[in-house]
């Protein structure tokens, strides 16, 4: 039920962190993976490790996104799974955050995510099947403060509701859209937290499971949403956060 043999998956932001892991997990489950990111050297390492097809892609550039989707369809003839993982944050007090920074975060986390999804969904709708998995965040459901991430929380909240909207629009045409809402997991975005003892102590004292998530603890929900195991699940954000949002 959780196998992906014969399926084709695109993973954005695949050159490091969660995206790198997602690509490997999907490949291990049998999928042909197209790994997209801005850093070709890291993508090549991933390709050597799990057989992924590496495509350099800045998802904020329309031409790059068009080339990514076209390359995938030309090579494999279909797209079955899309993991929208590319993203960024900015930890700045709201009263000081430059508008250009706010726009850049929203442009990558929301607008670019929508564009990738739109182009991939056209192929999925033609097929009559497909699973889109948006990587949201607990910061799309609750405030991030005291981390001070106004643009990030706004963008991830938008991802949560965009997931619902696209799911309902496409449900009767065979395309499912869901999201994963990770809590604190190791990544480039959270490295500054991992390097700060006070921040780690704050996480440990406030999370019901008092630690960061381990990289493999997202594998199960990823495979659930990518595979037929979730065939009756759409429009949902599944939170994996050690109980953070249950407090």
**Predicted local distance difference test score (pLDDT) of residue 202:** 84
**pTM flag (> 0.85):** yes
Q: 80-93, pLDDT tens digit by residue?
A: 999 999 999 999 99
pLDDT band at 21 (very low <50, low <70, confident <90, very high): very high
CATH topology of domain 8-187+217-238: Rossmann fold (3.40.50)
Say how far residue 59 (Cα) sits from the centre of its chain. Answer: 13
| Residue 175 pLDDT greater than 90, yes or no | yes
**Predicted local distance difference test score (pLDDT) of residue 140:** 97
Between 42-51, 63-72, 142-151, 190-199, the lowest mean confidence (pLDDT) is in 190-199
- Asked whether the beta carbons of 200 and 206 are under 8 A apart, the reply is no
Residues 164-186 have a mean pLDDT of 97
- Asked whether the beta carbons of 152 and 102 are under 8 A apart, the reply is no
Catalytic residue numbers? 152
Per-position DSSP letters for 105-144, written without gaps between them: HHIIIIIIHHHHHHHHHHHHHHHT-EEEEEE--GGGTS--
Q: What is the rounded distance in angstroms from the CA atom of residue 59 to the CA atom of residue 22?
A: 17
Greatest Cα pair distance, the chain, in angstroms, is 51
**Predicted local distance difference test score (pLDDT) of residue 8:** 98
**Predicted local distance difference test score (pLDDT) of residue 49:** 94
Q: 98-112, pLDDT tens digit by residue?
A: 999 999 999 999 999
| Residue 165 pLDDT greater than 80, yes or no | yes
- Asked whether the beta carbons of 149 and 89 are under 8 A apart, the reply is yes
- Asked whether the beta carbons of 85 and 34 are under 8 A apart, the reply is no
Per domain, the residue ranges of the chain are 8-187+217-238
Q: 181-209, pLDDT tens digit by residue?
A: 999 998 777 777 777 788 888 888 889 99
Quickly tell me which residue has 């998802």 as its tokens. Answer: 59
Alpha helices in the chain (DSSP H): 17-28, 40-50, 62-76, 99-106, 113-127, 150-170, 191-194, 197-206, 219-226
Under DSSP, is residue 84 helix (H, G, I), strand (E, B) or coil?
strand
């Amino acid at each position: 039920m959780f196998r992906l043999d014969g399926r084709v998956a695109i993973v954005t932001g695949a050159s490091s962190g969660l995206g790198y892991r997602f690509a490997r997990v999907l490949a291990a489950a049998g999928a042909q993976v197209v790994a997209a990111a801005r850093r070709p050297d890291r993508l090549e390492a991933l390709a050597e490790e799990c057989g992924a097809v590496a495509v350099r892609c800045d998802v904020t550039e329309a031409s790059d996104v068009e080339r990514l989707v076209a390359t995938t369809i030309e090579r494999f003839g279909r797209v079955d799974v899309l993991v929208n993982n590319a993203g960024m944050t900015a930890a700045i007090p709201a009263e000081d955050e430059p508008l250009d920074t706010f726009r850049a975060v929203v442009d990558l986390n929301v607008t670019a995510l929508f564009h990738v999804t739109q182009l991939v969904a056209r192929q999925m709708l033609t097929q009559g099947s497909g699973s889109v998995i948006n990587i949201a965040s607990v910061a799309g459901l609750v405030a991030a403060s005291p981390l001070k991430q106004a643009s990030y929380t706004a963008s991830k909240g938008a991802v949560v509701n965009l997931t619902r909207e696209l799911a309902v629009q496409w449900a009767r045409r065979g395309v499912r859209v869901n999201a994963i809402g990770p809590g604190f997991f190791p990544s480039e975005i959270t490295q500054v937290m991992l390097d700060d003892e006070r921040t780690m102590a704050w996480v440990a004292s406030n999370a019901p499971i008092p630690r960061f998530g381990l990289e493999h603890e997202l594998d199960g929900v990823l495979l659930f949403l990518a595979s037929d195991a979730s065939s009756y699940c759409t429009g949902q954000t599944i939170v994996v956060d050690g109980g953070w949002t249950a407090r």
